[in-house]
Amino acid sequence: MNLNHAKTVLVTGGSGFVGIHCILQLLEQGYIVKTTLRSMNRQDEVINMLKTGGITSFENLSFIETNLSKDDNWDEAAKGCDYILHVATPISLAIPKDENEVILPAVEGTIRVLKAAKKAGVKRVVLTSSFAAVGYSHTDPTTLITEECWTDPTDKTLSAYLKSKTLAEKAAWDFIAAEGNGLELTVINPMGIFGPSLGPDISSGFEVLKQMLDGSMKFIPKISFGIVDVRDVADLHLRAMTNPAANGQRFLAFAGEIISLPQIAYLLKSKLGNRAIKVSTRILPNWAVIIIALFNDKVKNIVPQLNKIKNSSNQKAKTILDWKPRTSEEALLASAESLFQFGTLKI
């Protein structure tokens, strides 16, 4: 018996890495799913990814064209929905000339979705935020980073992307407090998202693994971060969507341990054999990263990550939502397999 047949969920950004896994799990659980795309030309791509994930029937899936920067079609997208998973976000690895190119679409897009949700009588919105909004102003290595922590958006060292995630989440909570009128909000704050890709359009987060495996990263910077499998991020969204205790809460999403790039390099070498033959294990000292950043914009993005404390807890999601994440190792190796599977890497 299909328990969810009457429930309709809107997933924004259906062609994205997290969005597609959310759609996959919703369809598997019997929900009716609407998803937004910036261009309807990507419908076939989404359907092919879902087929890769094992979906065979698409009668419960529909598409609507929207853009975070425009009002068009948001009311139509939210109409008739019980829940919204607002996953879509503007991502740019390049450093914009004006940070507002990244910040404004993130903030204004979030408000557009919340306004449409309120107008449509949606019960709850689950917003995909980021660890970027939680832990980037944390300076005390003896204290765990939890959902109570916030990144300071006035911090001059923050990249436009980190600032955009912080300001968009703050705007969401402010909207709910000021004019939510019963609309519920839950926020998911993932760390680095890895895991299996369902198609050849590989997530931008995989770039670091690709550079390690193809040998273009000759030296490994000493950056540490938490990792979470995309399947577990999607699972956490679904749990947060329906659990009454999740209303008004934030949930940090990561596997549970902090891992460094040098550790990842050793992991790839130990588990992938000949396929990791080009992976370097030579470590790049922090002072060298800072010097290279003067001449290289991509490296400039790394500098704010040096010496950042990321010691965090995922206890809240595990306790309140009974969330059981996979290990960092499983997520990383699944990403590496996707890079090989979709021909992104030629070894």
Would you please indicate which residues are annotated as catalytic (active-site) residues?
165
CA dihedral 170, 175, 177, 183 (to 10 degrees): -120
Place of tokens 């309140």: 320
CB burial readout 70-92, b (16+ within 10 A) else e: eeeebeebbbebbbbbbbbbbee
Going from the C-alpha of 24 to that of each of 15, 160, 254, 286, the distances in angstroms are 11, 31, 20, 41
Rounded CA gap, 114 and 262, in Å? 41
Structure tokens at 333: 């190796």
- What six digits make up the tokens of 214? 């193809």
Q: Which residue has the tokens 């910040």?
A: 103
Query: Rounded to the nearest 10 degrees, how much is the dihedral formed by the CA atoms of 298, 301, 306, 310?
Result: -130
Question: Which residue do the tokens 């599977």 mark?
Answer: 341
Distance (Å, rounded) from C-alpha 255 to C-alpha 329?
Answer: 9
CA 7 from centroid of its chain's CA atoms: 24
Residue at token pair 């705007």? 171
Residue closest to 73 by CA, chosen among 88, 90, 58, 55? 88
